[in-house]
Copies of this chain bind each other. A is one copy, B any other.
């Protein structure tokens, strides 16, 4: 039985007869290959290249969803059979995952793209935090006692630097009100299994790898309070998703992704540092 993903926070959704991804109960995520542009083909090419690439270290492979090939499935827009990428459903192990989808990089376009595409991206990049911060939040859901807080796309698109800081605090808080308590910051962002350590691992790889340039690719942060309270590991995860715009690195590092990632790391570090500061103050 295929169904619409419950925890999708960004991208095209399989609702109202539109084309979008589907999931099953066995932990698979089915992403339709679109025929209106080259995105699907490029993403499939990337997964094939990445899967068979022996130069990818094991600890880096963990950041990517497992790829199970392609499968012909009835598309969600009822247009009939269509090839789908079969990927790991990252959220399937989690009950009520809080999720942040962060598009990394201070530009989402690439020289090989069409002029129209470049102009569209250039505009979006300038009017979101992409240019100023080197990344933008594309979507999110944060679980709290009253359910999920999931702001609409327009609201998310208009996020400022301060909104981003606020979201990063709420993500690790027991409350999502104006004064988030950041009570999970130390465990979720900090520590040797925390998100910050994972991001630094990724950064080290990006300082060196010259194989792929990840345009318009997202880092997905996933944190599950239930798993945390039950002592399940990992209760926080970092994954890379969306490879429809990956281009050849041609022997150059992905300085656009790396710069944005470093900026995001600084934001997370600051929330972590501030939360330690406030905990200290509370104790005094």
Contacts and interface: CB of A to CB of B under 8 A. Distances in A.
A66 interface: no
Nearest to A266: B253
Given A106-B106, A111-B126, A253 B263 contact: yes
Tallying the copies of this chain within the complex gives 2
A274 to B, nearest CB: 12
A256 B260 CA distance: 8
Interface stretch (A68-76, A84-92, A131-139, A170-178): A131-139
A102 to B, nearest CB: 13
Contact of A106 (B208, B250, B255, B266): B255
Contacts of A134: 252, 255-256, 259
Interface string A235-258: 000000000000000111101101
Contacts of A250: 161
Nearest to A122: B122
A75 B263 CA distance: 42
7 contacts: A106-B106, A122-B122, A134-B252, A252-B263, A252-B266, A253-B263, A255-B262
Interface of A: 106-107, 111, 122, 126, 131-134, 161, 207-208, 210, 250-253, 255-256, 258-260, 262-263, 266
